[in-house]
Structure 1
Amino acid sequence: MKRRALSWQIGMLLAATSGIMVTAPPSRAQDASDAQNPQDAPTTQPPANKSKAKTLKAMVVTAERREQNIQAVPLTVSAMDQVELNRRGITSVADLNAIAPGLVVIPETGGYTTGAQFSLRGQFVGNPAMYWDSTTGVYVNGVYFGKSKVDVFSLPDLERIEVLNGPQGTLYGRNTIGGAVNIVTQKPSGVFTGTAQAGIGRYGEHTEMLRMDLPALGKLKVSVGGRAKNQDGWVKTTSGSSAGSLGKIDTRDAYADFLLDATDNLSIEYRYDFSNAHNTPAFGQTVHSDILKVFHIPGIIVNQDRQTHASIDAPVYENLRTDANALHVDWKLGVGTIKYIGAHSETHYNNGLELDGSPINFAQSQETNRYRETSHELQYVGSVGNWNWVTGLYYFEDKGFNADPQEYFFGAAVFDPNLYWYGSRSRAAYGQVEYKLNDQWTITAGLRRTLDQKNVSRFMQAGGYTLVPRGTEASAGWGSTTPMLNISYQMDPNHLLYARYAEGFLSGGFNAEAQTASQVTSPYKPEKAKTLEFGSKNTLLGGAMRLNADVFYNRTTNLQQIVFTAQGAAASNVLNVGRSHTYGFEGQLQWRATNDFDMGLNYSYMKGKFDKYMQLGKNIANNQSYAMLPRHILSLTAHDVLLRTSNGTLGASLDYRFTSGYYRYTYQKVVVNPAQAVAGNTRIKAEGILNGRIAFSDMQWGKVSGEVALWVNNITNKSHIDNYIDFGPGFGNLRLAYYNMPRTYGVTVRVDW
């Protein structure tokens, strides 16, 4: 059955590819190597009898650590520039949901507003705790951000976002078994230019943004900017609560970027980013609780419908400050370029959570953590003749401290102190070499060797009784080798076929929140993924259409799975439970039908199954739900120029995103063990959200241009659950739901000079 399903997917791809080859118009005579050059990409070269404007803009990406046209990169990559980000209203992490095939982005468990959880091709980590590693690596200008507590997407000078599907274990390293997200910002130009933007919206929203490139000071170019956003929470609290509303946003972001072109061959860039937030978490609405039912407070304690008012008793807040520094040095040699990327960031974070959604003191916590990370990377990138290569050395370390006192059962159970200290160190050497056999065939091979070390220290008491003694410490190390092999065939300048094999791994570690010393000191092993992918990239209609498709099969061993422990304090432990596999189809379409109308479509079909899932010595794979793996993900966008005038254009954009239903957690599907949670209770239902925007842009006043835009998010005002917390039978089946925002709307004004 597995083989038939995978064969069917491969057959669909081959059939689609064959149809493309048959129906595609004749291509221009052009050396296939031109497709590797972003300046000479075929997407920018329409036939002579076509309007040059009726072509898609060439998209240059750095998915393989060097600039390439997106159609020349033999792997599944999605990319959006600033224009598309604005059209789709993407301003935060949560807005990235479904923008790429196979991608699910949900708010962090606990309703945190300063980060998000990623699932890419079904690879995910379900806990935002500091000692957990993500399955999707997030990089800003090549710098890895190890944790999710930074809203890096609110950068004022964002240039583009790239999403890479599948393990990226060779060039990007550990913790990319699902894929990687690249964030690229604009470089200082040395010319006095800038953008000022302001907007207002529902729930008292107001945003301000300013970005400026200053005139060059000799060989020094400088860019500075900032962004502020304020919005009232859409869930109002009772007068007795310390928080006026839940889901409130109050953020400030700023940056300064200095680029020194010291010589024709040497450039040095230093960038500083600052982020500060004083928010309130989203409302964790109680949708079920066996214990709280006895209080009989309808509409406040337990309610299945999205609520806009909450009666809570615990202090609720979320504060974050991040300071990030990055240094880039590029030194061009006679052959190739040596690059150094160094970075250091520190994050201070604290929050107060109400975990029962009621005015009754049943479950609450207050968390404080400190986190810092440092990385160094040395690369040698170059090309000679038919050879291209990327090699490098990498070092990363991070440290953190967490204090999380918790109170449950009306104060009968108080876990304080509840502390842990965490640290890790990673070293790696890697190389990837591409050789062009001839005008059609290219082979690429890569290898990375990584050595990881982690340590943890834990102290926990409950009501004065010691659960985990102070000084409970452990350390361990692991090594992993991750290869990659890619064979591509350039049929002509507009059609590329490829086959890719890649491996990746998710770091091992310790359960720093565990409630016994033996659980704390027992490490879990690295999770390993092996993926086979077949794909096709096609430029059609003289450059007016891009149609890409792929099928993939992924096998995971040493599978890391979350086990929620309701032993008094709420905590989640990681266990290596066995093996799993996933497979699917992904498609991407971009089409500029006329000079005034263009559209885009992303779609993915995915399935997954546990081959082995061990629990208490038994294989229960057939009764465990596969979490965070929607069968269907669809994204559809359209933009139409409605009116052109001598001083601007009127355009309208629509953005529709659909995700089919999926299990939020890996729980039992049928009740076999009454002491464990049931998967169906936290199943996320299918959802489709429609956003829209209409803008009058390209207004000119000399050298100044402007835009006025009206936007609406969640046009149909759909209500759905984004995330759950399920405390399980050990906590009286307390279950919290985090709903999406109701319809929002506003106006934004932008001026460029």
Structure 2
Amino acid sequence: MSQMVRKMSFVLLAGSSLAGWSGAALAQDDSAATAAPFAAEEPVQNTGNVILVTANKRSENLQDVPVAISVLGQEQLEVTGFSDIRDISALAPNLSVSPGTVNPAATVVAIRGITTGGDESLTIDQSVALYIDGIYLARSAASAVFSKDVEAVEVLRGPQGTLFGRNSTGGAVSFRMRRPENDLGIDVEAGYGNQDSRSALVRLNTGNLIDDNLRLSFTYAHDQNDGYVDNLLTAGDNKDPGASNIDAGRFALEADLGNTGSVYYSFDYTDFRATPVAFQTTVASPTVQGFLNNATTTPGCDLDIVQERRDAFCLDDAVPVASKLYGHVLKFENDFGPVTVRSTTGWRSWRSDEPGTDLDGFGAVTGPQFSNETLFNGLPADLIRPIVGAGADFVSGLAVPTTTTSLFETVSERSQDQISQELEIVSNNAGRFNWVLGGFYFYETADEFSAQSIGVVLDVDQILRFNPNFGPLGPILADALSPEDRYRLLNTVALVDYKTSAESYAVYGQGEYRLGDEEQLGVTVGLRYTWDKKSIRQTKPFTNLADADYSEPTGHVTVDYRVTDDINVYAKASRGYRSGGFNIRTLQDPFEPEILMSYDVGIKTLFWNNRIRLNLAGFYSEYTDQQISQPVSNPAGGGFGVIVANAGETHYNGVEGELFIEPIDDLTFSGSFGYVDRDFVTYPLTQADGTVIDIADSVLSEVNTPNITASGAVQYQYYLSNEMFVLARIAATYEGDHYFFTTPQTSTFARDLESRARTLVDAQLRIGNIPLSGDSTAFVQFWGKNLFDKVHEERAVDFGQLGYGGFYFGRDRSYGVTVGASF
């Protein structure tokens, strides 16, 4: 922690130095300022169907930016009831978001089929980078955002190797938070829905203070709901799987430093108390099924395995998980005339306590227990006498012992702290050449202690029949085995204990030059160089004291041509990088970085006085030195293990499009479509004897993300008197079927654990601007999610080495009403 404090002190000193520059510039010439504070980094906004974005670190028209980018603005987020990152899944083409399982603060984000997968190891970096107010979120396990103050979301598809360069091979998702407003105001909201969902929000804006140079805002939000699967072992729906209770708060400050500078600070805190979503076993091997057939469980529960989602079953130790996140953002910005200089400092922290989660869905199981000492219990004395000797009669009279346990239970404590500092110099030129220069620093520490209580079902028939020590007696012993005693459970405990740290430096630059008399042709070149240093100090299940250094150049070359003011075509070649790291589950050397080369072509168009917007893109990407995770049997210390190899090569190609139509005022149609195809060129598999074979022709290609994503929405807003309106919206999101595991050779149930294609339909009806006294207004909004109660699989776990697998199913139909007022 002392090292983290020293790093933080350095970062704050570097960031605060810009305030000194700002004051010095103001002292020299206050009258020279012509640009408003933060002019280069305005929030995303919609002006007459023209959307402004900040993907290039300056405010630009979405249609002029030669990048495959989707934007969800504040109005859309409010109307759709945005509550966490999962709500943007499929709203942008080729974007898919899955929730965490045990950990409520975790998400798995995939763009264009590229994802890190569900492994929440604190030593594996993400393929899709997430940002909050420009602050990089290093861990998928701590990727929750303060949703109530999100002002806009930008989804950048494809490698972002320059301006959003850290580990952005698949793309980046940038959340922009609300800034304090110029006018005094209070917003209050309250909501109620089925599953006893309750929400409340209070937001205070102080307006301009101290000579109109200082603005503050305070936001508090509370959300809670019951679970959507009935745990028969838990009293009260508020402790059922899927239940959550969240308190969150945010404070923001923005101040003008003279006429050219600004300072912005925010602090957010979120406290999760959530019961993990239920894991349901849907497939099992004959060995596990044989054990369950002769086992018992808690009265009122059963050991049946069904493929369809169950509304009620038994879960042992379903204790709520406590997860806390908080973060600071500090930005200084000053306009020096030719350039704007911006400093962004971030500090984020996460703590998670998972006291115990049942990951089999059976509750406590009582059945025969395996041990070498009791292997011959209950067998005929005459048969075992050659092996046991004089004690044969005694052993034969003993019953096989029983054990009562969960088949799989996990307990963990994890934490992560990170600091970052970014310094940007952005040109203010309005001419042919615009550029950005920057430097980035990042440091994090993390630790994890987890314990897995695992029950391995063994077939005693096979042990007796084929053990060479028993010779010809083996088959005879196996035939004499009682069917009730054939399948026995071996209890094991696997521990993981490690600390890790990472440090990263980067410098980058991007320049755009426009050619021709009308400046229609543009060439943009970006380059970033990154240096990463990592270390691990692991003591369980093995000792691993290792350090690793990586460095890599990334960037892009983009050419665009503005055919007219409303039509822009572009081509882009980009190089992305994801750092290497350490494997905490199997002892091996550090794995190396992976590289993604991507080639994009696209067209952005506006028609009919901006009433029609159609953006299309096609892409082809090549992964080299791809990090391939392969399950392995009998890892050190028991439990599950994987080997991460840098030998994979995969090609991705696809298309994506977005359409917006406003045929008449206040009636809009919007939609998106994405298709991605994966071609595994090489995919190595390490066999039990150590030999490596290429199984590229037999792996499953539609893994973790579907080949097809699509969305569509229709919205109509009808104005009444006094600007009061009624807004109705209905939307559908589609995700095609896909698997969760790539290799049937190592994931036993890979083909059985398939997520079926689904279409989820949401709807909202909002009555807004209801006049109250003075300028105060109110609103009432009725909402529904998954209106047709579509059963859908969100995640899967293949415990193939243990003989079973299953799904985490998504939430069923939910609906409610929210009322609010602004004063």
TM-score range, shorter chain: 0.7 to 0.9
| Residues 40, 57 of structure 2: 8 Å contact kept | no
Counterpart residue identity of residue 625, structure 2: N
Counterpart residue identity of residue 92, structure 2: A
User: 1:161-197: per-residue Cα shift (whole Å, max 9, x none)?
Assistant: 1100000011111211110001011211242023211
Query: Cα offset for 1:566?
Result: 4.7
Match of 1:703 among 745, 761, 775: 775
Choose 407-416 or 86-95, whichever is displaced more.
Answer: 407-416
* Corresponding residue for residue 755 of structure 2: 684
> Where in structure 2 are the equivalents of 1:79-478 lying within 5 Å?
79-108=71-100, 110-126=101-117, 127-150=119-142, 152-218=144-210, 219-239=213-233, 244-290=239-285, 291-294=287-290, 295-296=292-293, 300-351=303-354, 352-359=356-363, 360=365, 361-384=406-429, 385-409=431-455, 412-415=490-493, 417-438=495-516, 439-460=519-540, 467-469=541-543, 472-478=544-550
TM-score (norm 1): 0.87
User: 1:397-445: per-residue Cα shift (whole Å, max 9, x none)?
Assistant: 1111100011111884443642011111110000000111132111100
> Where in structure 2 are the equivalents of 1:488-499 lying within 5 Å?
488-499=560-571
Query: Cα offset for 1:151?
Result: 5.3
**RMSD of equivalent CA atoms:** 2.2
> Where in structure 2 are the equivalents of 1:632-647 lying within 5 Å?
632-641=708-717, 644-646=720-722
CA distance in 1, matches of 2:573, 2:170: 14
User: 1:339-397: per-residue Cα shift (whole Å, max 9, x none)?
Assistant: 11111111111212211111121110101011100101111001332111111011111
| Residues 88, 655 of structure 1: 8 Å contact kept | no
User: 1:233-268: per-residue Cα shift (whole Å, max 9, x none)?
Assistant: 111212368983111111111111111212112211
CA distance in 2, matches of 1:511, 1:691: 41
CA distance in 2, matches of 1:403, 1:374: 22
CA distance in 1, matches of 2:820, 2:49: 23
> Where in structure 2 are the equivalents of 1:51-70 lying within 5 Å?
56-70=48-62
CA distance in 2, matches of 1:224, 1:300: 50
Choose 150-159 or 301-310, whichever is displaced more.
Answer: 150-159
What is the number of equivalent residue pairs in this alignment? 685
CA distance in 2, matches of 1:708, 1:598: 21
CA distance in 1, matches of 2:749, 2:617: 34
CA distance in 1, matches of 2:145, 2:502: 25
Distance 1:348 1:707, change over 3 A: same
Match of 1:526 among 593, 617, 638: 593
CA distance in 2, matches of 1:241, 1:175: 44
Distance 1:338 1:647, change over 3 A: closer
SS at match of 1:665: coil
CA distance in 2, matches of 1:301, 1:93: 34
CA distance in 1, matches of 2:45, 2:732: 29
| Residues 38, 69 of structure 1: 8 Å contact kept | no
Query: Cα offset for 1:223?
Result: 1.0
Identity percentage over the alignment? Answer: 25
Distance 1:709 1:413, change over 3 A: same
Query: Cα offset for 1:106?
Result: 1.0
Counterpart residue identity of residue 694, structure 1: L
Distance 1:682 1:496, change over 3 A: same
* Corresponding residue for residue 628 of structure 1: 704
CA distance in 1, matches of 2:77, 2:633: 41
| Residues 682, 694 of structure 2: 8 Å contact kept | yes
Q: Does 1:560 align with 2:627?
A: yes
CA distance in 1, matches of 2:312, 2:554: 50
Distance 1:37 1:232, change over 3 A: closer
Match of 2:608 among 541, 550, 568: 541
Query: Cα offset for 1:643?
Result: 6.2
| Residues 130, 143 of structure 2: 8 Å contact kept | no
Structure 1, unaligned stretches of length 5 or more?
1-35, 45-55, 461-466
Distance 1:395 1:529, change over 3 A: same
| Residues 156, 211 of structure 1: 8 Å contact kept | no
User: 1:193-244: per-residue Cα shift (whole Å, max 9, x none)?
Assistant: 2321110011110011122211323122111111110101111212368983
SS at match of 1:569: coil
* Corresponding residue for residue 618 of structure 1: 693
CA distance in 2, matches of 1:700, 1:240: 46
| Residues 422, 441 of structure 2: 8 Å contact kept | yes
Structure 2, unaligned stretches of length 5 or more?
1-38, 366-405, 457-488, 687-691
* Corresponding residue for residue 744 of structure 1: 814
SS at match of 1:449: strand
Counterpart residue identity of residue 293, structure 1: Q
* Corresponding residue for residue 652 of structure 1: 728
Counterpart residue identity of residue 55, structure 2: A
Query: Cα offset for 1:642?
Result: 5.1
CA distance in 1, matches of 2:775, 2:678: 55
SS at match of 1:621: coil
Counterpart residue identity of residue 709, structure 2: I
Query: Cα offset for 1:513?
Result: 2.8
Counterpart residue identity of residue 762, structure 2: N
CA distance in 2, matches of 1:312, 1:179: 37
Counterpart residue identity of residue 613, structure 2: R
* Corresponding residue for residue 735 of structure 1: 805
| Residues 241, 312 of structure 1: 8 Å contact kept | no
Distance 1:552 1:195, change over 3 A: same
Looking at CA atoms only, which structure, 1 or 2, has the larger radius of gyration? 2
CA distance in 1, matches of 2:69, 2:501: 32
Distance 1:222 1:43, change over 3 A: closer
User: 1:318-357: per-residue Cα shift (whole Å, max 9, x none)?
Assistant: 1111121111010211211111111111111121221111
| Residues 43, 544 of structure 1: 8 Å contact kept | no
CA distance in 2, matches of 1:576, 1:241: 49
